[in-house]
């Protein structure tokens, strides 16, 4: 019997009970100043939904304070701003890179004031627009070590569970490793990298403090937690992928324990974003339990995937 499978839900619940109300030491910092409301023109919001396509244009929206949504209806990208420089989070699809740049301009910001670009994971639907963003902004892309080679060549390798079914994307010229302290800075913005391998080897989540006046919130951009692969890959085959399953489970526990007021995910539908921002919002934006719930859903899906793999392995050969 797999005792880790039985213990995981209990561990997640224990972590939730121990989650601090404020960011852990070293993560809190002076909030980056949001642009004055009168300097930013927010266009009337178009309607996006969970059924929207990956390349459907979205109206740029303020999420909270200095954090803005600049992605498409189906794939997230964020802009975190400060007077001294901005950071873009994720590049979306190859077709969406230009849309992200347009959204930055529509909000009244200059793309050349973007000083850093970061990403969630090294797949074409989130890294495909990075080269275009880099060309428009001149900013370097910061990534964790396992993602760097993939970004530079525009293609994954067998270390990625989905390797055989992934589309290539434009190679990114200037890719730099996330600094040793795990913080990417631009002006007054500080984004903290959280290594979250599982969906991909280089999966990265990001967290920062965003304020509207005295209302400061911890934003978490949590990477995808779905256990999806091509037909050859087995998450339970530790001999073929040493330590990968354990790292995935550590990721789930890490996300569950994060201080988390506002959750955003690379696919907005995964965190119900369009029910929390925009013209059809009907749920609170702030939910301190959102990261825990997101991690628990990921854990349940991983365990189901492992059970399915075991069942297929035990099935008699036709």
Residue 219 to residue 216: CA distance in whole angstroms = 9
Residue 187 to residue 43: CA distance in whole angstroms = 26
pLDDT in tens, 128-158: 999 999 999 999 999 999 999 999 999 999 9
Longest dimension (CA), the chain: 69
Tell me how far CA of residue 142 lies from CA of 53, 120, 152, 186, 191, in angstroms.
27, 10, 12, 12, 11
| Cβ atoms of 139 and 116 closer than 8 Å | yes
- pTM for the predicted model, two decimal places: 0.86
Residue 42, pLDDT score? 55
- Looking at domain 8-21+31-314, which CATH architecture does it have? 4-Layer Sandwich (3.60)
Residue 43, pLDDT score? 55
- With a cut of 50, list the residues of the chain below it in pLDDT: 1-38, 44
pLDDT in tens, 181-229: 999 999 999 999 999 999 999 999 999 999 999 999 999 999 999 999 9
Residue 227 to residue 161: CA distance in whole angstroms = 8
Question: Which are the catalytic amino acids?
Answer: 121, 123, 125-126, 199, 233, 267
| Cβ atoms of 151 and 109 closer than 8 Å | no
Residue 47, pLDDT score? 86
Tokens encoding 182: 């795990």
How many Cβ atoms are within 10 Å of 157's Cβ, its own excluded? 11
């Amino acid at each position: 019997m797999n005792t880790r499978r039985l213990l995981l839900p209990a561990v997640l619940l224990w972590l939730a009970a121990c989650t601090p109300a404020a960011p852990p030491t070293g993560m809190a910092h002076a909030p980056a100043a949001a642009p004055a409301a009168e300097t930013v023109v927010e266009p009337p919001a178009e309607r996006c939904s969970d059924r929207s396509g990956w390349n459907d244009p979205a109206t740029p929206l303020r999420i909270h304070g200095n954090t803005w949504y600049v992605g498409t209806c189906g794939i997230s990208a964020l802009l975190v701003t400060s007077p001294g420089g901005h950071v873009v989070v994720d590049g979306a699809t190859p077709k969406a890179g230009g849309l992200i740049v347009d959204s930055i301009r529509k909000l009244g910001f200059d793309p050349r004031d973007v000083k850093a670009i970061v990403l969630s994971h090294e797949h074409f639907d989130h890294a495909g627009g990075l080269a275009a963003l880099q060309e428009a902004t001149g900013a370097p892309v910061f990534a964790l070590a396992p993602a760097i080679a993939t970004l530079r060549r525009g293609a994954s390798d067998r270390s990625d569970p989905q390797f055989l079914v992934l589309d290539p994307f434009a190679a990114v010229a200037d890719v730099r490793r996330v600094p040793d302290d795990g913080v990417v800075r631009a002006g007054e913005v500080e984004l903290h990298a959280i290594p979250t391998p599982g969906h991909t080897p280089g999966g990265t989540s990001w967290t920062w403090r965003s304020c509207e006046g005295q209302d400061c919130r911890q934003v978490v951009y949590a990477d995808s937690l779905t256990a999806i692969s091509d037909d050859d890959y087995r998450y339970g085959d530790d001999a073929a992928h040493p330590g990968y399953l354990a790292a995935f489970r550590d990721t789930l526990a890490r996300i569950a324990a994060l201080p988390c007021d506002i959750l955003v995910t690379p696919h907005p539908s995964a965190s119900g974003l369009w029910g929390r921002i925009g013209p059809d919002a009907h749920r609170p934006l702030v939910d301190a339990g959102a990261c825990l719930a997101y991690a628990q859903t990921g854990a349940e899906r991983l365990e189901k995937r492992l059970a399915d793999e075991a069942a297929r392995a035990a099935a008699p050969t036709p």
